[in-house]
Amino acid sequence: MAGPKSSAKKSEGDRGEKKAKKPKKTKGQTWAKEGPRDPFEMLDSLPEEKQQEIQKALYLFSLGQGPPKTMQDARRHNYRFWNTQPVRKIDEEVTSHGPIQSEMQSIREESYSLPQGFCWESLDLGNPEQLGELCTLLNENYTEEDDNTLRFHYTPQFLLWALCPPGWRSEWHCGVRVSANRKLVGFISAVPTTVQIHSTERKMVEVNFLCVHKKLRSKRMAPVLIREMAWRVQRHGLMQAIYGTSAMLPTPMASSRYWHRSLNPRKLIELNFSSLSRNMTLQRALKLNRLPEKTKTAGLRLMARADIPRVQVLLRKYLRGFHLFPILNQEEVQHWLLPQDGVIDTYVVEAPDGVITDMVSFYTMSSTVLNHLVHTTVSLRAPIGFDVFMALSVMENNVFLEPLRFTEGGSGVQYYLYNWRCPSITEDKVTKVLCALKPESPSALCARGQVSRVRAKLRESK
């Protein structure tokens, strides 16, 4: 049987050189059992260039799915999308300041095309139904941990606070719907902000809440959402953006780490979000993390509406010593800092003479705990329900993190600028806090609580 088979292959090869069409089987092959080709034989038959592409793909797959988490991994990663964008490249040495791309470039007239069966829609967050749809999309598809244990839970009140600051535009609440049933399956947002970068003041947008439905992530819809948002923003003359993520993209201009302070150790241990160290008992952990009944800072109180002008002055004086910070007018101070129940809390310290000398703020996030029999949420309430308090290692926060029993988390935030080149900034010179990025991994706790601590270097005049 081997003889006819080998001769048949030879005759087929001869015919293949003369004709492009598929050769017919000989009588000796008509009864031969069909089966898959040897994969090594298939690989060897491919051109050298194709073999290298396959080997590279296998290598990248071995690194794990998703974008790199470290700069070392980023150097080996092929950023197909980001390599086409006006962003700082990996390992690029930067000493200058300014836009990467000319600001006089032509801007397209129409939106980017979506895959067939999908359409764009600017969400109206003043419509309770559409706001509810956005909550559902984010709560079911945004920033879930790889082990499916934790997911942010966004409330309508939080999203209105995060997405509707002064100057917001409905077209910057960019949604993607299924054309047939109008289901919301994608979203990206931008809000206006003025940022000081080193010595340059720049109007730009903060991009956030990029979310694609889990079942559609193979369609590479995220790059289209980013391009579409860039186009919508550029139409209004804004050419730069700031954004943050825990992933390593090209290329961070600043980085910071999450720190967390356990407020409900029993619950966090039961959820495996934290563990007892050697020689540590649960009772001792509860005692060590117990908070005092009353605060020790004289004059500490909730910020009131009447404090807005003085808080703005205090912020402007304090932030001058940093290299990346927001510039807030009084309307923005009111929106971002005036307390809202369950959303944002701001405290000020008022001296006996009526001067506001300090302020601290944090926002509230809840996380849904998946697949647990007892606990369903992890939140940020102490006497009023917080489980864990989290802070970034920005500004002068490192002064109080360890003394107040914060421990370093397992992830952090990378800060990026779109279409702006500048030297890197150390974390202690950063004051810009980006909302609701990604929950910590279970080994490093979860939930969110950003803290912005401000102490006036000079007492403001009465």
Q: Is residue 2 part of a domain?
A: no
Q: Which of 221, 245, 269 is the last residue of a domain?
A: 245
| 175 pLDDT more than 80 | yes
Question: Could you read off the pLDDT of 206-226 as tens digits, one per residue?
Answer: 999 999 998 898 888 999 999
Residue 377 CB partners (closer than 8 Å, separation 6+): 153, 366, 367, 368, 369
Pick from 162, 170, 131: which is nearest to 335 by CA?
A: 162
Query: What tokens were used for 412?
Result: 């952090």
| 335 pLDDT more than 90 | yes
Q: What letter does residue 88 receive in the DSSP assignment? A: P
| 147 pLDDT more than 60 | no
Strands (DSSP E) contained in 215-270 are 241-245, 254-262
Q: Which residue has the higher pLDDT, 82 or 26?
A: 82
Give the pLDDT confidence score for residue 48 in this predicted structure. 60
Q: What total of structural domains would you count in the chain?
A: 2
Give the pLDDT confidence score for residue 158 in this predicted structure. 96
β pairing state of 366-369 and 377-378: antiparallel
Q: Is residue 22 part of a domain?
A: no
Same domain, 126 and 167: yes
Give the pLDDT confidence score for residue 102 in this predicted structure. 80
Same domain, 131 and 238: yes
181 alpha carbon, distance to own chain's centre = 29
| 19 pLDDT more than 80 | no
- In which band, very low, low, confident or very high, does the pLDDT at 227 lie, cut at 50, 70 and 90? very high
Q: Is residue 59 part of a domain?
A: no
Same domain, 240 and 259: no
Give the pLDDT confidence score for residue 24 in this predicted structure. 56
The 10 Å Cβ neighbour count of residue 165 is 18
The 10 Å Cβ neighbour count of residue 105 is 9
Query: What tokens were used for 122?
Result: 């600017």
- In which band, very low, low, confident or very high, does the pLDDT at 165 lie, cut at 50, 70 and 90? very high
> Mean per-residue pLDDT for 151-177?
95
Q: Is residue 296 part of a domain?
A: yes
Same domain, 198 and 272: no
| 145 pLDDT more than 80 | no
- In which band, very low, low, confident or very high, does the pLDDT at 31 lie, cut at 50, 70 and 90? very low
Same domain, 270 and 240: no
β pairing state of 388-392 and 254-262: antiparallel
- In which band, very low, low, confident or very high, does the pLDDT at 410 lie, cut at 50, 70 and 90? confident
Q: Is residue 377 part of a domain?
A: yes
| 39 pLDDT more than 90 | no
- In which band, very low, low, confident or very high, does the pLDDT at 12 lie, cut at 50, 70 and 90? very low
Return the percentage of the chain with pLDDT > 70, whole number: 74
| 424 pLDDT more than 80 | yes
34 alpha carbon, distance to own chain's centre = 50
Same domain, 300 and 439: yes
Return the residue matching tokens 């559409």.
130
Q: Do residues 403 and 186 touch, judged by C-beta distance below 8 A? A: no
Same domain, 284 and 154: no
Give the pLDDT confidence score for residue 42 in this predicted structure. 64
> Mean per-residue pLDDT for 30-46?
55
Q: Characterize 306-345 residue by residue with b for buried, 16 or more Cβ atoms within 10 angstroms of its Cβ, and e for exposed.
A: ebbebbbbbbeebbeebbbbbebeeebbbbbbbebebbbb
- In which band, very low, low, confident or very high, does the pLDDT at 457 lie, cut at 50, 70 and 90? very low
Chain-wide mean pLDDT for the chain?
Answer: 80
Least confident of 15-24, 85-94, 111-120, 250-259: 15-24
Question: Could you read off the pLDDT of 347-396 as tens digits, one per residue?
Answer: 999 999 999 999 999 898 887 665 443 443 344 343 457 888 889 999 99
Q: Do residues 379 and 273 touch, judged by C-beta distance below 8 A? A: no
Give the pLDDT confidence score for residue 217 in this predicted structure. 83
CATH of the domain at 442: 3.40.630.170
Please give the C-alpha separations between residue 341 and each of 52, 135, 299, 381, 384, in angstroms, as whole numbers. Answer: 57, 18, 21, 12, 11
d(CA 209, CA 162) in angstroms, rounded, equals 10
> Mean per-residue pLDDT for 226-255?
94
Q: Is residue 164 part of a domain?
A: yes
Q: Is residue 20 part of a domain?
A: no
Q: Which of 245, 263, 295 is the last residue of a domain?
A: 245
Question: Could you read off the pLDDT of 299-321 as tens digits, one per residue?
Answer: 999 999 999 999 999 999 999 99
β pairing state of 344-350 and 407-418: unpaired
Return the residue matching tokens 């006036």.
456
| 56 pLDDT more than 90 | no
| 53 pLDDT more than 80 | no
Pick from 60, 84, 62, 86: which is nearest to 74 by CA?
A: 60
Same domain, 206 and 289: no
d(CA 407, CA 426) in angstroms, rounded, equals 20
Q: Is residue 416 part of a domain?
A: no
d(CA 149, CA 144) in angstroms, rounded, equals 8
Same domain, 175 and 298: no
Same domain, 220 and 263: no
d(CA 234, CA 188) in angstroms, rounded, equals 15
| 189 pLDDT more than 50 | yes
Q: Which residue has the higher pLDDT, 130 or 247?
A: 130
Q: Which residue has the higher pLDDT, 256 or 59?
A: 256
Side-chain half-sphere CA neighbours of 416 within 13 A: 21
d(CA 134, CA 114) in angstroms, rounded, equals 19
Query: What tokens were used for 180?
Result: 């047939």
> Mean per-residue pLDDT for 109-117?
92
Q: Which residue has the higher pLDDT, 384 or 106?
A: 106
Least confident of 2-16, 180-194, 230-244: 2-16
Give the pLDDT confidence score for residue 168 in this predicted structure. 98
Give the pLDDT confidence score for residue 152 in this predicted structure. 78
Question: Could you read off the pLDDT of 259-281 as tens digits, one per residue?
Answer: 988 888 888 877 777 777 778 88
Give the pLDDT confidence score for residue 62 in this predicted structure. 40
3-state helix, strand, coil in the chain (%, to 5): 30, 25, 45
Same domain, 204 and 275: no
Same domain, 309 and 269: yes
Q: Do residues 337 and 205 touch, judged by C-beta distance below 8 A? A: no
Residue range(s) defining the domain that contains residue 207: 71-245
Q: Do residues 411 and 304 touch, judged by C-beta distance below 8 A? A: no
Q: Which of 227, 245, 263 is the last residue of a domain?
A: 245
| 37 pLDDT more than 80 | no
